[in-house]
Structure 1
């Protein structure tokens, strides 16, 4: 799955990578959680003959997909991810998979490896060569009963490749630049025509870096949460903290 990610590259780099017009300035974001606004690239209106304008445009959406037919978000689970294997048939995502596919720029994402009863070990997963990557996304406009509208979105996931499966069994779908146009072309490309793109990225594309549990708190938004912390060192630090007077390893009234 993909429950947190980063976008810590410049707006110019994002615009150039996705083929967008100049983007408004935005700060680096090191710990993007669900329900916050996220950036997507979507297909723009048909390009006029002789126009040099990009045929893609930027869109800010709430990370948490709400189907257009939903009466209230309170009646829906928080749909931050969509399984690529079934999105074209699921009632929640079927229309968006056919008509509203998108690209989600990211510089990396987080995943947690669970082993028995131990606390989950977080990893920062980023392109081995750095830079920005595009996840496959879906978007939908939901209309509130009062008439206002909100754009919402989800990230598509697929089964993990052999390398990443040691951490988690799911991973985001990566769309390569040479396939951007085909993925976003919902006028001519049906879901079955782009199904071949919904595969796990090849081993070696990402690198997974063990980090501290600072990332677990959405309030921690600085670049320090991306620093490498080997699991053994983190366990030793936690044990030392618990052994202190009043630490987590002792009962105390104060």
Structure 2
């Protein structure tokens, strides 16, 4: 799964990387502890709101955690921050979105935890081995009720590759830059083939301070190797 991540890329870099038009309400960066329900940076294709007719890619803000259309309130059911690749086409909360509302969620790295025999949670920070930004496959959804409107998203996850499985049995679907057009639907159909684990040599990881176990923690120290913190 993916329950916490970091984003340090400035919006200008994301605009250039994805050839996207930026929105006006983008979340502040850097953020070393992006948590569920936070606003996150999302790249999507086409118009996401009524009256927004611009074509092409847009860099916008969305709430992390899909809100299905039948929820009476944003907290009316489970917090859906991840969508499993193996069931995404069947789940009512995701099946229409994966057909027509796919998106990209950029990140600098993400956190995962191992658990010791005495139940201590040890956090790890995972990045691309080549130091390039991570591009998570995502889906998005519009929700409206009683005059309240929210646009939300979820990260698509898959079985972990053997290297990542040392830490957790699931991992985000990480797209290569060459896969962006296909995932966004710009290159026709066939995006389902992209919902697979990243190659074993694509990622690297290191232990970080347990301070990140708190969703209130912040600052660049959260991603530093624990050995460097004395």
Aligned to 1:50: none
How many equivalent pairs are there? 222
Range moving further from structure 2, 25-34 or 149-158: 25-34
2:41 is the alignment partner of 1:42:
no
In the TM superposition, residue 114 of structure 1 has moved relative to its aligned partner by 1.7
Separation (CA, whole Å) in 2 of partners of 1:33 and 1:119: 20
Aligned to 2:8: 8
1:191-250 C-alpha deviation (Å, 9 max, x unpaired)? xx21110010001211111011010112211001111115xx99xx9xxxxxxxxxxxxx
1:75-110 C-alpha deviation (Å, 9 max, x unpaired)? 310001110111011111111111110000000000
Which of residues 226, 229, 252 is equivalent to 2:226?
Answer: 229
In the TM superposition, residue 116 of structure 1 has moved relative to its aligned partner by 2.4
2:57 is the alignment partner of 1:56:
yes
1:62-211 → structure 2 map (5 Å cutoff): 62-144=63-145, 146-185=146-185, 188-189=188-189, 193-211=190-208
Decide which structure has greater strand share: 2
Separation (CA, whole Å) in 2 of partners of 1:162 and 1:172: 14
Which structure has the larger Rg? Answer: 1
Q: Which runs of 5+ in 1 are unaligned?
A: 46-52, 238-254
Aligned to 1:33: 35
Decide which structure has greater helix share: 1
Distance 1:160 1:13, change over 3 A: same
Q: TM-score by structure 1 length? A: 0.81
3-state SS, counterpart of residue 86 of structure 2: coil
Moved over 3 A (4+): 22-26
Range moving further from structure 2, 122-131 or 13-22: 13-22
1:113-133 C-alpha deviation (Å, 9 max, x unpaired)? 123224021000011121312
Range moving further from structure 2, 172-181 or 13-22: 13-22
Separation (CA, whole Å) in 1 of partners of 2:55 and 2:225: 39
In the TM superposition, residue 74 of structure 1 has moved relative to its aligned partner by 3.2
